[in-house]
């Protein structure tokens, strides 16, 4: 059974999807800790309600604003919890340094578009959905991928398409992409990594 650590920054809806899918979709791993870069992230409450240990590590307040120190602190916490696989569930900080080295090919992220569309630096949260609507695409979706040194540039694990409907706003599109894609494929991708299954052709 792989030990899973989850990184969050906000409400933790993707974290909740992971918690809810433990034992059904996620059968080869268990969430053992949740870490946030914001002390007011509601996802911390979700973790506590599920009996999952939490930690807050803030780049500015705890690490002097230093990227390397921030990544090192997260890495040290994950190692102290014997974490095997890290999941980014709405984590809005860019990772690098020790963390990417120590957990190479073992960090999974969910992005709210069909990569390579609307991804990379500056594309996060509602900005992704605003861009999709502005461009006029008819289909969007979500992508679960491995994390490397390039923003949204790691190996794609799973993708799921979602149709854009007339009258969509960034908010309604965000909600539908979460419900119809993110909450489905993120647990599936985590199970793939925990199982060590060959995901080359997924």
Please check whether residue 5 is in contact with residue 35, taking contact to mean a CB–CB distance below 8 angstroms: yes
Q: Would you list the domain boundaries of the chain?
A: 2-195
- Distance set, CA 201 to CA 28, 138, 152, 155, 192 (Å): 20, 26, 19, 11, 12
Secondary structure of residue 183 in the 3-state scheme: helix
129 is catalytic: no
Per-residue pLDDT reduced to its tens digit, 1-36:
999 999 999 999 999 999 999 999 999 999 999 999
Q: Does the domain made of 2-195 have the CATH classification 3.40.50.300?
A: no
Note the pTM of the prediction, 2 decimals.
0.94
Tokens representing 40? 């007011």
For residue 143, the surrounding DSSP H or E stretch is strand 139-146
* Active-site residue, selected from the candidate residues 2, 21, 46, 111: 111
* List of residues 6+ apart from 123 with CB closer than 8 A: 111, 113, 131, 152
Spell out the alpha helix ranges (H) of the chain.
13-21, 43-49, 59-63, 67-80, 97-102, 126-135, 170-177, 183-195
CA atoms 26, 30, 36, 41: torsion sign = positive
Query: What band does 197 get if pLDDT is binned at 50, 70 and 90?
Result: low
Q: pLDDT, tens digit, for every residue of 157-178?
A: 999 999 999 999 999 999 999 9
pLDDT over 70, % of the chain: 97
Average pLDDT over residues 94-122: 94
Average pLDDT, the chain: 95
Distance CA 135, CA 18 (A): 31
């Amino acid at each position: 059974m792989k030990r899973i650590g989850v990184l969050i920054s906000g409400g933790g809806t993707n974290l909740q999807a992971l918690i809810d899918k433990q034992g059904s979709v996620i059968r080869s791993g268990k969430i053992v800790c949740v870490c946030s870069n914001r002390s007011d992230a509601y996802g911390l409450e979700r973790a506590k309600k599920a009996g999952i240990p939490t930690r807050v590590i803030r780049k500015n307040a705890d690490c002097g604003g230093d990227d390397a120190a921030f990544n090192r602190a997260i890495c040290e916490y994950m190692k102290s919890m014997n974490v095997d696989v890290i999941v980014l569930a709405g984590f809005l900080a860019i990772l690098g340094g020790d963390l990417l080295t120590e957990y190479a090919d073992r960090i999974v992220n969910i992005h709210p578009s069909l990569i390579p569309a609307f991804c990379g630096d500056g594309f996060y949260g509602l900005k992704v959905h605003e861009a999709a609507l502005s461009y006029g695409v008819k289909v969007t979706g979500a992508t679960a991928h491995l994390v490397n040194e390039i923003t949204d540039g790691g190996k794609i694990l799973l993708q799921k398409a979602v149709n854009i409907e007339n009258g969509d706003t960034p908010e309604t599109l965000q909600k539908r992409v979460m419900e119809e894609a993110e909450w489905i494929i993120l647990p599936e991708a985590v199970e793939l990594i925990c199982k060590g299954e060959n995901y080359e052709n997924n």
